[in-house]
Structure 1
Amino acid sequence: MNKVLSKHALAALCAAPLFLNMGFAQADEMPVPAATEAAAPAEPAPPYTLTYNLGLYSNYMFRGVDYSDGPAVQGGIDWAHSSGFYLGTWFSNLDPYAYGKVDGLSKGNHIETDFYGGYAHSFDNGFGVNFLGNYYKYFEGHNSLDGHKQDSFEVSAALTYKYFTYTYYNLLSNYYGLRKISGPNGGGDTKNTQYHELKVNYKLPLGDINFMAKVGYQKAPDIDKDLYGSHGADQGDFAIGLNRDFSLPSGGKPITGFNAGAYYTDTFSVKNQNFWVSNDLRDINEAKLWFYVKRTW
C-alpha cells in the first residue's frame, strides 16, 4: 500500500566517472586514411523507461500497520514517460487474517495487487508535484467474512520542496469493503477516508546513506460506527530509518540496482485499539523494527 506504504523506502543516485579516450599524433607523420562510409546516426533513445523491482521485507508495513505478520515478497513494474505520465503495478503477500477482529478485512486474501497511474513534474525552483490514482485489488475478496468486496480506489496529490513532501490521500471507495454497520446485512458507505503525510528524505554526507522520516494521520469517520464509535479507525503513525544503494561484485561488470534499509515504525493517537486487532487477536499497529533488501533494474 506503495505503495506505498504506503506501501509505501527512496533510493539515492550513484554517480559514475566518465572516461574520455583521446589520441594525439603529428599530422605529417600519419598516413592519410582511406575514405570510409559515414557511420549511421544513432537511434534516439525512446521517450520512456520501463523498470522492474523485487524485494524481500521482514514485514509489509503500511501507515503504521503490519499487513503480513512476517516476511513479505514485494515487487512491481513501472513505466514512465518523459512527459511526466506514468503507470505501474505492484504486489505483496498478506496475512489472510489481518484486521479486523469482527469485519475480517482481508480474511482469505493472501495477495494484494495495486494498479496505479499518475503524473509527476519537477520545477527548476526545487518544487515538484505528483498526482496519483491507485486501485487496490484483492483477487480473493469473495472470501471475506461479510462477503463484501475489498477492492478500493484512492487518489492522492503531493507537493515536494527540496527534501520535504506533503501528500494528501482520499479513498473514493469504501474502506476495503467495510461498511458503517457491519455484518452481512450492514449498510452505509465508508468513502472519503483521508490520510495526511509529511515526509523528509535527505542524503547524509557520510557513506551515501539516505535518511527518511515521516509522520501521517488517518481520518476515517464512518467505519463500523456501531462497533467502534465515530472515527474509530483514526490513528497517527510515524517512521524513521536509513537506507543505502549498493552493488554486488561479479566476474565482470558489478550487479547494480540494490538498496537495503531499516526502519522503526509506531502509531499514536489511536482512537480505538479494538479496530486494529486481527482475527487471530494480534495487535497489528504496535511498534515494529523492520528491514528490507530490494533490487531495481
Structure 2
Amino acid sequence: MFNLHQGNYMNSLAWIKNRHVVSALCAAPILFSCAYASAEAAAPAAVEAVAAAPAEPAPPYTLSFNLGLYSNYMFRGVALSDGPALQGGIDWAHSSGFYLGTWFSTIDPDYAVGNHQEVDLYGGYAYTFENGLGVNFMGNYYWYPENRKADGKSIDSFEVSAAISYKLLTYTYYNVLTDYYGARDSKNADYHELKVNQKLPIGDLNFMAKVGYQNTRNLAGDQGDYAIGLNRDFSLPGAGKPIEGFNAGVIFTDTFNVEDQEFYKSSSDRDVNDKKLTFYVKRTW
C-alpha cells in the first residue's frame, strides 16, 4: 500500500483447495475457543431480598473497546506487518446512528517508509431500516504519527466510504480524497468490496468471505483480492462469572489480476501481497 516502486505475480487461487488450508480454516477458531472454555458461575446458596431500586434510564450512547493480537495485519490483500501485529481501538456510538472511533495497528517499517504505527481516526453515520436494509457513510483519516515521508510527502491519507447492506451481504465503495499514501497525482484511488457474513449451524462458527478490487489511479498498483475465514465467539472463566467478549479466528487471503508485482514489494524485497493464512484472538468490552 505504501511502496510505490515495485512486483512479479504468481496466480495461486488453486492453493485454497489444499486440504491443509481448509483444515486450518475449520479447526483454528474451535481450538482457540476450546482452550478457554467458559465456566458456569455457581449460584449462591441464599440471596438476601432487597427492594428493587428504580432502573436508571439507559444512556443514548455506547462506548466500547477492543484489543487483539494478529499473526499478520492484512489490508485489502496486502500484509502491512511482517509477522504479528497488535491492534486495538475505541468506539463511541449514539442511538441516532452517528459514531466516532479510533483504531491502531503496528506495521512493517520496511513497507511503510519507516513508520511503525498506523492510527485511524474515523466517524460516520449508520442506519438500518425496518425492512433490514442498512446504510453506512464514513470518513477515515489514516495517520502515521512518526511522519516518515515518501519522496518528501507525508503518507497520511483521508478516505470516504459508503456501504449498503441487506441480510448477509454488504457492498462498500471507498475513495481516497487525498493523494494515495503520498504518491503525487493519485487522488481518488478507489476500492470496491463485496462481503458475506453468515452464522453457521455447526460449532457456533461465523463464516466470512469477501472479494475486492483496488484502483490506484495513475499508479501501477491495481489488483484484486479475496479472503475467506471462520471465527468463533467465546468467554473465559472468571471470578464468579465468565469474562465475555472474546473472538478467535483464521482468515485465508490472496490476490489476483495484479498490475505490477514490483509495486507490492518492501524495501527488503518482501512480497506483501502474497497469499497469507492469518490467525487472531481479540476481545471487545
Fold equivalence (TM over 0.5)? yes
1:283 is aligned, of 255, 271, 280, to: 271
Q: What CA distance in whole angstroms lies between the structure 2 residues aligned with 1:78 and 1:166?
A: 22
The alpha-carbon deviation at position 108 of structure 1 amounts to: 1.4
Aligned to 2:236: 248
Q: What CA distance in whole angstroms lies between the structure 1 residues aligned with 2:59 and 2:216?
A: 43
Q: What CA distance in whole angstroms lies between the structure 1 residues aligned with 2:140 and 2:93?
A: 16
The alpha-carbon distance between structure 1 residues 39 and 53, as it changes in their structure 2 partners (threshold 3 A), is closer
AA in 1 matched with 2:58? A
Q: What CA distance in whole angstroms lies between the structure 1 residues aligned with 2:64 and 2:241?
A: 19
1:154 is aligned, of 134, 142, 159, to: 159
Are positions 1:237 and 2:221 aligned together?
no
Aligned to 2:80: 67
**Superposition map of 1:98-137 within 5 A:** 98=111, 106-137=112-143
Are positions 1:293 and 2:281 aligned together?
yes
Q: Secondary structure at the match of 2:272?
A: coil
The alpha-carbon deviation at position 221 of structure 1 amounts to: 2.1
AA in 1 matched with 2:213? Y
Aligned to 1:201: 197
The alpha-carbon deviation at position 40 of structure 1 amounts to: 5.7
Aligned to 2:59: 46
Aligned to 2:91: 78
Q: Which has the larger radius of gyration?
A: 1
Aligned to 1:257: 245
TM (norm. structure 1) is 0.77
Q: What CA distance in whole angstroms lies between the structure 2 residues aligned with 1:125 and 1:211?
A: 23
Q: What CA distance in whole angstroms lies between the structure 2 residues aligned with 1:168 and 1:145?
A: 26
Aligned to 2:208: 212
Q: What CA distance in whole angstroms lies between the structure 2 residues aligned with 1:144 and 1:278?
A: 15
Aligned length: 236
The alpha-carbon deviation at position 222 of structure 1 amounts to: 1.2
Q: What CA distance in whole angstroms lies between the structure 1 residues aligned with 2:138 and 2:120?
A: 12
Aligned to 1:184: none
CA contact (8 A) 2:121 2:141 kept: yes
Aligned to 1:164: 169
Q: What CA distance in whole angstroms lies between the structure 1 residues aligned with 2:52 and 2:247?
A: 40
The alpha-carbon deviation at position 39 of structure 1 amounts to: 6.8
AA in 2 matched with 1:51? S
Indicate the structure whose relative CO is greater, using CA pairs within 8 Å and at least 6 residues apart: 2
Aligned to 1:191: 187
Q: What CA distance in whole angstroms lies between the structure 2 residues aligned with 1:137 and 1:221?
A: 21
The alpha-carbon deviation at position 252 of structure 1 amounts to: 1.3
Q: Secondary structure at the match of 1:176?
A: helix
Q: What CA distance in whole angstroms lies between the structure 1 residues aligned with 2:150 and 2:67?
A: 31
Aligned to 2:101: 88
Q: What CA distance in whole angstroms lies between the structure 2 residues aligned with 1:209 and 1:129?
A: 26
CA contact (8 A) 2:231 2:247 kept: yes
Over the aligned positions, Cα root-mean-square deviation in angstroms equals 1.3
Q: Secondary structure at the match of 2:262?
A: helix
Are positions 1:55 and 2:61 aligned together?
no
Q: What CA distance in whole angstroms lies between the structure 2 residues aligned with 1:39 and 1:201?
A: 41
**Superposition map of 1:17-36 within 5 A:** none
AA in 2 matched with 1:72? A
Q: Secondary structure at the match of 2:181?
A: coil
Q: What CA distance in whole angstroms lies between the structure 1 residues aligned with 2:217 and 2:143?
A: 23
AA in 2 matched with 1:199? K
Q: Secondary structure at the match of 2:180?
A: coil
CA contact (8 A) 2:251 2:279 kept: yes
The alpha-carbon deviation at position 148 of structure 1 amounts to: 0.8
Q: Secondary structure at the match of 2:182?
A: coil
Deviations 1:99-131 (A, max 9, x none): xxxxxxx21100000000001111121210000
CA contact (8 A) 2:150 2:182 kept: no
Moved more, 122-131 or 238-247: 122-131
Q: What CA distance in whole angstroms lies between the structure 2 residues aligned with 1:43 and 1:56?
A: 36
